[in-house]
Chain A
Amino acid sequence: MTAYSLLELNTYLKRVLVLNFEEPLWVRAEIMQAKTHRGHTYIDLVEKAADDEHVQAQASAILWSRQRKVLESKLNQNLDDWLTEGAEISFLVEVQFHEVHGLAFHVIDVDPAYTLGKLELQRQEALDKLRLEKLLDQNKKCQLPDVIQKLAVISSDAASGYQDFLQQLRENAFGYAFDLHLYSNAMQGLQTEKELSENLEQIRAQNYFDCVVLIRGGGSRIDLSAFDAYGVAREIAQCPIPVLTGIGHETDTTLADLVAHRAFKTPTAAAAFVVDRNAVYENTLLEKFHHVEQLTRYSLQRESLQLKNQENSLRYLPAEVWSRAQSELDRTKKVVDLLIDQRLNSEKSKIEKVATHLAALHHHSVLNRGYTLTTLEGRIVRSSAQIKKGNSIKTRFKDGVITSKVEAQHD
């Protein structure tokens, strides 16, 4: 049996491949890993089974620095956004075999429509799943406070969108102060879901924030693909705190936006909403305050008027009361005077009667009328039977007394 040297074999394989793959060809694969070194990008490609995701095929591809620049210029995008772990890409490759380095695919072109189509398919599947699990409206049912002050911001501190958001809040015209905590998170790629889950768990555990704001500074459809992932959308939907999104894209709506409590086109718009919401509440308070103030003023005016009326009433009332009391007093006085006069007259009449009676009873008046008063031994003789023959009796006249001796008695 003939034995080949390794070089001979590799030279043979190279010739076979060159003969069979004269033209570049399109290959679909999932990116397992992509690393850039000195401008060249080294990509590990895999194809996984649909059911259990075990690796069925694997190969390496190289995107040379010069070709990368050509592609980026053609797509008008940074290829880092496309060459992310888990992305499904359709590459135009040249199949090459090098005697020393072995088999390699040299990337010539990329088909963005394939990737976007795949993404859209995945997005639709995720959307159906979210709808089936009734997660689309779950976060919308969380109560967003009337005043938002404590914000948990999930973003990347380097993202321009985050800076825009901060600036909008800091420079708000009303001078509102916010307590803002940044939870740093990958904003694209497979890490996004894992970190988002961890951050939301921390935010939940703190039980402090009024809302969560998910901020990203814009990007292409492919950049934002993480926000179309089912896992990310589910985390947002199930968050018990209202989640606002300001992912930064004008045309498309990600699943994260769909399940969020409120979605805004830009981080600046999200910040403006927060400021406006507080301003609306302040205005409502001010209106209520003015209403209460008006009511109070009206009530005070009414009370003041009432007081004035009462004061006027009081000013004239005492005179009236006095006059009434005076006439009552006069009437009473007259009655009292009358009673006193009656009593005095009665007493006077009584005394006069007594005086008249006394005068009538006085023995002098009797004597003056010509009567006499007879006494026997100092006692008034009222009957002849009191006297006996021989008694010495005294007879009193008005002008003197005589003594007589009884000689005889006659019936």
Chain B
Amino acid sequence: MDQLDKIIHDLENGAIEIDELDSTMERAQALLAYCQEKLRKIESKIERSKSV
């Protein structure tokens, strides 16, 4: 999330070159997917704990 926050901050401030834009956005998407997956796994684990 910190990395995502930094990317957003850089995007908002135009600190990213046009050539890096695509790769940066791809990385942002990957980080976002990673975070979402991690959250999903935690949710699933919690659900399993609850059922026990």
Q: Do A and B come from one complex?
A: yes
Contact surface of A with B, Cβ cutoff 8 Å: 337, 340, 344, 347-348, 350-351, 354-355, 357-358, 361-364, 373, 375, 378-380, 382
Cβ-defined contact, B18 with A358, below 8 A: no
Bound CA–CA A11/B36 (angstroms): 173
Partner of A354, one of B1, B18, B25: B1
**Residues in B whose Cβ lies below 8 Å from that of A358:** 4, 7-8, 11, 25, 28-29, 32
Q: Are B39 and A363 in contact (CB under 8 A)?
A: no
CB <8 Å contact, A380 and B14: yes
Can you list 29 residue pairs at the A/B interface with Cβ under 8 Å?
A: A337-B50, A344-B39, A344-B43, A347-B39, A350-B1, A351-B1, A351-B35, A351-B36, A351-B39, A354-B5, A354-B8, A354-B35, A355-B32, A355-B36, A358-B4, A358-B7, A358-B8, A358-B25, A358-B32, A361-B8, A361-B12, A362-B25, A364-B25, A373-B18, A378-B17, A379-B18, A380-B14, A380-B17, A380-B18
The residue from A344, A357, A361, A380 contacting B42, defined by CB atoms under 8 A apart: A344
Q: Is B18 within 8 A of A361, CB to CB?
A: no
Q: Encode contact with A along B1-43: 1 for CB under 8 Å, 0 otherwise.
A: 1001101100110100111010001001100100110010011
18 additional contacts (CB under 8 A) given A344-B39, A355-B36: A344-B43, A347-B39, A350-B1, A351-B1, A351-B32, A354-B1, A354-B8, A354-B32, A357-B8, A358-B8, A358-B11, A358-B25, A358-B28, A358-B32, A362-B25, A373-B18, A378-B17, A378-B18
Judged by DSSP, the binding face of B is helix
Closest to B19 in A: A378
B residues sitting closer than 8 Å to A (CB atoms) are 1, 4-5, 7-8, 11-12, 14, 17-19, 21, 25, 28-29, 32, 35-36, 39, 42-43, 46, 50
Question: Closest Cβ of chain B: how far from A353's Cβ, in Å?
Answer: 10
Closest 5 CB pairs of A and B: A361-B11, A351-B35, A354-B4, A380-B18, A358-B28
A361: chain B residues at CB < 8 Å are 8, 11-12
B24 to chain A, nearest CB (A): 10
Q: State in angstroms the CA–CA spacing of A382 and B5 once bound together.
A: 23
* Complex Cα spacing A362 to B1, Å: 17
**What residues on B are CB-neighbors of A357 within 8 Å?**
8
CB closest chain-B residue, reference A340: B46
Q: Please report the C-alpha to C-alpha distance between residue A358 and residue B8 in the assembled complex, in whole angstroms.
A: 7
Q: Which residue of A lies closest to B50 (CB)?
A: A337
Question: In the assembled complex, which residues on chain B have CB atoms less than 8 Å from the CB atom of A378?
Answer: 17-19
**Taking CB as reference atom, which chain B residue is nearest A343?**
B42
CB-defined contacts of B11 to chain A, threshold 8 Å: 358, 361
Q: Which residues of A contact B7 (CB under 8 A)?
A: 358
B32 in contact with A375 (CB, 8 Å):
no
| Beta-carbon nearest neighbor of B16 in chain A | A380
- Residues on the B chain within 8 Å of A373, using CB: 18
Q: Which residues of A contact B5 (CB under 8 A)?
A: 354
How far is the CB of B36 from the nearest CB of chain A, in Å?
6
Residues of B near A375 (CB, < 8 A) are 18
Query: Hey, which chain A residues are within 8 Å of B1, CB to CB?
Result: 350-351, 354
Residues of A within 8 A of B19 (CB): 378
B residues near A364, Cβ cutoff 8 Å: 25
CA distance A309 to B48 in the complex (A): 44
What chain B residues lie within 8 Å of A362 (beta carbons)?
Answer: 25
- Chain B's closest residue to A381 (CB) is B18
What distance in Å separates the Cβ of B42 from its nearest Cβ neighbour in chain A?
7
